[in-house]
Amino acid sequence: FNSRDLKLLDILSTQAGLAISNAELFKEREKILLQGVSTLVEAIEAKDPYSSGHSRRVAHYAECLCKELHLSEQIQKDIFLSSLLHDVGKIGITDEILLRTGKLTKEEFEIIQHHPQKGEAIVDHFTLMHDLLSGIRSHHERYDGKGYPDKLKGDEIPLPAKIIAIADTFDALTSHRPYRSAFTPDEAISIMIENRGTQFDPELLDAFVSCFKKGGIP
């Protein structure tokens, strides 16, 4: 090697070292992010044991829909994590209301409806989770604009929120509740199809139904 070759190798080795260091930092960032998400999910389930497993099931259904839509790996990851945390705002709801088995009053239901904003406020404290905020805040918006908290309509609703809304509803329908028995998966799909274009984005719901029929939603 002449001096020119050695200089080039020195530059390349420096760049390689930086690349390795960045990769290690990225892995550490991912580890911290997942630990934070896991801690918050545990807090949700400790708050409402009756819905234990709900967040993980919603995340799984959302992941299946993301794959059916062929979304990028990063978008899939963000939606998966947003799904895990979509109900984190319920930490801020009193047990008296959250664990009520009977019918809620109008005022109590309005308090429940604030959990998306509460969830956004909680997650906003974590810089690494800022990409998850839109899915958490808007997962109760409806395609026809009659949802909450912002009355968003159609394409105004962020994609993560529209996907989580479908996954969340499917799990809610197929889970037992104090006031009703669980619907079968087929019954749940039929109910959701009836709300195609009103509660749900029609194209996304079609993709979810397609995924279900192919066995992708166990």
Q: Among residues 27, 47, 77, 90, which one is catalytic?
A: 90
Cis peptide before 149 (omega within 30 of 0): yes
- Sign of the alpha-carbon torsion through 190, 192, 197, 198: positive
Whether 90 is catalytic: yes
Nearest to 215 by CA among 190, 182, 174, 185: 185
Q: Which two tokens stand for residue 69?
A: 């839509």
Instruction: State the catalytic residues.
Output: 90
